[in-house]
């Protein structure tokens, strides 16, 4: 049986908007003409979705979220850019997620199964993965990359073009201006520093003891032995089992352009 699409009489849905089956649009929502909402996605009330914005399935968006507005970029001049959001995301009150600017690949992207708490901000050109939790007021500047399974504490800020590695835990009220490697805890209001591996997060997500001890060894060589980066990587390759996770840590650190949080 097809699920019906429900649109409250007080909502404004522009001609051209594409709503899949089971979409629910509550009171006083505004949906623009280029918006596509996937199956079962629900705009609770007072939600605005505009721009060339595509949602996957079963997303829930709470009141006063504004999704797909133009980027907060002075150089932006109305270029055709997009926002693509996956499925099963929970987007709480007053969240803002913006269209891309004209200085990237033209898309802001958000994956699946994320939980963005109230007032979260995701700026133009961000690449946000899946299974991420961002607590209240956490903000991402333009072109930030969040890999999967990141947990971001409340009221933190991430500088533009910074990358955050998978399974990282970012402490609340942190100022993050350098790339944060995967699997670590980073925190600090003046400038975030590393506080070891995110052991609680890794164990919760089923990392084996063996993988964790390999990551511990690699972490120690990279961040505690004060070796030049090239030497540290060579030592890891010689001394530590080069598993997928260790390789990802090394390649992430090698690819940094903004410096690495230490």
Token pair for 40:
């079962």
Please identify which of the residues 51, 68, 112, 124 carries the catalytic annotation: 124
| Paired strand residues for 42 | 24, 60
| Burial (CB count within 10 angstroms: exposed 0-12, middle 13-18, buried 19+), residue 99 | buried
Q: Is 125 a catalytic residue?
A: yes
Q: Is 124 a catalytic residue?
A: yes
Classify each residue of 120-149 as buried b or exposed e, where b means 16 or more C-beta atoms within 10 Å of its C-beta. Answer: bbbbbbbbbbbbbbbbbbbbbbbbbbbbbb
Please identify which of the residues 22, 51, 142, 201 carries the catalytic annotation: 142
Please identify which of the residues 86, 98, 112, 125 carries the catalytic annotation: 125
Q: Is 142 a catalytic residue?
A: yes
Name the residue among 162, 204, 164, 206 with its Cα closest to residue 185. Answer: 164
Dihedral angle sign, alpha carbons of residues 197, 201, 207, 210: positive
> Which H or E run includes 219?
helix 209-223
Work out the number of other CB atoms within 10 angstroms of the CB of residue 193. 15
How is the beta sheet containing 66-69 ordered, strand by strand?
12-13, 30-31, 48-49, 66-69, 96-98, 121-122, 139-140, 157-158, 175-176
- Show which residues are catalytic: 124-125, 142
């Amino acid at each position: 049986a097809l699920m019906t699409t429900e649109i409250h009489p007080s909502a404004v849905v522009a001609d051209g908007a594409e709503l899949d089956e089971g979409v629910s649009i509550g009171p006083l929502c505004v949906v623009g003409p280029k918006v596509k909402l996937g199956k079962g996605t629900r705009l609770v009330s007072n939600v605005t979705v505009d721009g060339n914005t595509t949602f996957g399935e079963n997303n829930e968006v709470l009141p006063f979220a504004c999704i797909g507005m133009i980027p907060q970029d002075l150089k932006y001049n109305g270029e055709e850019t997009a926002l693509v959001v996956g499925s099963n995301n929970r987007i709480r009150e007053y969240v803002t997620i913006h269209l891309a600017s004209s200085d990237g690949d033209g898309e802001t992207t958000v994956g699946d199964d994320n939980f963005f708490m109230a007032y979260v901000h995701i700026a133009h050109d961000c690449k946000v993965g899946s299974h991420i939790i961002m607590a209240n007021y956490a903000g991402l500047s333009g072109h930030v990359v969040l890999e999967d399974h990141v947990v971001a504490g409340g009221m933190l800020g991430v500088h533009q073009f910074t990358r955050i590695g998978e399974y990282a835990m970012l402490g609340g009220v942190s100022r993050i201006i350098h790339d944060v490697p995967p699997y670590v805890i980073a925190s600090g209001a003046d400038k975030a520093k590393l506080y070891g591996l995110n052991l609680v997060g890794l164990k919760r997500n089923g990392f084996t003891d063996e993988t964790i001890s390999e990551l511990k060894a690699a972490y120690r060589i990279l961040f505690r032995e004060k070796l030049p980066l090239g030497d540290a990587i060579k030592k890891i390759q010689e001394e530590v089992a080069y598993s997928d996770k260790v390789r990802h840590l090394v390649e992430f650190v090698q690819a940094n352009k903004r410096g690495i949080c230490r």
